[in-house]
Amino acid sequence: MSVLIAYIALSVFPAALVVAAANDIYEFKIPNWVSIILIAGYPVAGLAAGAPAGVIVEGFAVGAAALAVGFSLFAFNIVGGGDAKLLAATAPWMGVSAIAGFLFYTAIAGLALIVVLMTFRSLPVLPVYARAPWILKLHDRKKDLPYGVAIAAGGLISFSQTPFFQLVFGG
């Protein structure tokens, strides 16, 4: 396939992650359509990148494992449902080769997010926050972490190590 088509197909991944992170920051929700686009775009990107069928199938297996882990975390009220779905929709893109790095970077980004939000939430509420309700939500100590931000960061940092990226841009 054309290199341009591969570039366009690969661009779905970072674009969807940015949308997921922004929605999680603003609304503490990750729309289902973002995860659907990631899952639907995955085999398209694989074909456009010229990936062997086995690599695409391995990615789906990684995604299935991530879905099981994500929903286990959701069942124990550790992460939200949107976070679990985003994790499962991001994992196939990582494949076997990049999943460990993705999980590591996601965990590091999650720790950074905790530090930043704990610091922010310890500061007084400023009157200017009233003009931005999403900032008030972020400041609310009763709210959970928008962990989709950490998942997106982990995915974006790991993207260059993914099988499809390596096929298109080289290693």
Query: Does the pLDDT of residue 68 top 80, yes or no?
Result: yes
Query: Does the pLDDT of residue 100 top 80, yes or no?
Result: yes
> CB neighbours (10 Å) of residue 8?
13
Share of the chain above pLDDT 70, in %: 99
> CB neighbours (10 Å) of residue 133?
11
- Whole-model pTM: value is 0.95
Share of the chain above pLDDT 90, in %: 87
- Are 21 and 152 a contacting pair, CB within 8 Å? yes
Q: What is the mean pLDDT of residues 55-65?
A: 98
